[in-house]
């Protein structure tokens, strides 16, 4: 599958902000990865604005039906906010959004949700899924409000095995019957490097990593 323009632009943008880097990185899993993604580096107003646009494009492209977007604290909070703005300004969709508090607030308005009520079909906006813990925690919050989780949008899907043969993302999709949408996948990043006709060594490292740890879907 060829890259869509917004996916190509996202990878260029992520490299420019050093949020996507190539080299040798040791992951929490202990795996040695030839690339690393850190959304925390989109840390200026303009970068956040662009990031929201990319999430909004991925949502529109997926065609997923939803009522409310939800950002898990903390990193999901600016992501859901900027995505809501981009959906409104660029896609003419005025979507309710909310996020949770990590600490329960027992004064003032109380509760652990800030923003729109969790009603109907909920789409989570987060940076990445690793083991799936954050999504399971969000699902518990969404279910407690009698709302329905329909999907999750992340920036990058590394498409790699978890403990078993499947990725944590695929396991979540199957277990909870949800759709995980990503702006780009590992495959897209490899396609991008190939398209740029750059460093063969680098492409080889990425392909080897995919062979070793990638999921077969």
Ligand X SMILES: O=P(O)(O)OC[C@H]1O[C@H](OP(=O)(O)OP(=O)(O)O)[C@H](O)[C@@H]1O
Closer residue to ligand X (CB): 115 or 132: 132
Dist. CA 159–CA 130, nearest whole Å: 10
185 lines the binding site for ligand X (CB under 6 A): no
Binding mask 38-77 for ligand X (x = CB under 6 A): ----------------------------------xxxx--
Give min distance, CB of 140 to ligand X, in A. Answer: 13
Check if the beta carbon of residue 153 is closer than 8 Å to that of residue 139: no
Gap between the Cα atoms of 116 and 93, Å rounded: 15
> Which of 42, 125, 127, 189 is close enough to bind ligand X by CB under 6 A?
127
What gap in Å lies between CA 69 and CA 151, rounded to an integer?
10
Q: Quick one: tokens of 187?
A: 């495959």
Q: What is the Cα–Cα distance from 173 to 46, expressed in whole angstroms?
A: 32
| 75 contacts: CB under 8 Å, gap ≥ 6 | 39, 40, 126, 127
Rounded CA-CA distance 63/137 in Å is: 25
Q: Any catalytic annotation for residue 16?
A: no
Cβ atoms of 145 and 119 within 8 Å: the answer is yes
Nearer to ligand X, 158 or 210 (CB): 158
Compute the distance between CA of residue 57 and CA of residue 4 in angstroms, rounded to an integer.
10
Kindly indicate which of the ranges 5-13, 128-136, 179-187, 190-198 contains the residues binding ligand X, using the contact rule CB under 6 A. Answer: 128-136
Tell me: does residue 126 bind ligand X (CB under 6 A). yes
Closer residue to ligand X, CB minimum distance, 34 or 72: 72
Q: Which residues does residue 138 pair with via DSSP β-bridges, in sequence order? A: none
Select from 47-55, 127-135, 140-148, 176-184 the region that touches ligand X (CB under 6 A).
Answer: 127-135
Stretch that binds ligand X, among 56-64, 82-90, 103-111, 121-129 (CB under 6 A): 121-129
Nearest distance in Å: CB 110, ligand X: 21
- Contact pick of 11, 134, 142, 178 for ligand X (by CB under 6 A): 134
Query: Does the active-site annotation cover 105?
Result: yes
Q: Which residues are catalytic?
A: 105, 107
The residues that touch ligand X, with contacts defined as CB under 6 A, are 72-75, 126-134
């Amino acid at each position: 599958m060829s890259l869509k323009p917004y996916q190509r632009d996202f990878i260029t943008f992520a490299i420019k902000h050093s949020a996507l880097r190539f080299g040798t990185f040791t992951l929490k899993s202990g795996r040695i990865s030839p690339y690393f993604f850190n959304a925390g580096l989109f840390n200026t107003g303009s970068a956040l604005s662009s990031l929201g646009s990319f999430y909004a494009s991925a949502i529109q492209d997926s065609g997923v039906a939803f009522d409310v977007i939800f950002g898990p604290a903390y990193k999901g909070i600016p992501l859901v906010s900027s995505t809501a703005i981009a959906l409104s300004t660029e896609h003419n969709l005025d979507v309710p959004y909310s996020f949770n508090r990590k600490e329960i607030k027992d004064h003032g308005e109380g509760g652990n949700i800030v923003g729109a009520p969790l009603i109907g079909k909920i789409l989570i906006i987060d940076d990445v899924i690793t083991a799936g813990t954050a999504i399971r925690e969000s699902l518990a919050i969404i279910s407690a409000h009698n709302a329905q989780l329909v999907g999750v949008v992340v920036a990058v899907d590394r498409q790699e095995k978890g403990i078993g043969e499947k990725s944590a993302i695929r396991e979540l999709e199957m277990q909870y019957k949800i759709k995980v949408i990503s702006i780009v996948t590992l495959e897209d990043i490899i396609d991008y490097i190939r398209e740029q006709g750059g460093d063969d060594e680098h492409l080889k490292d990425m392909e080897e990593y995919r062979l070793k740890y990638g999921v077969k879907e």
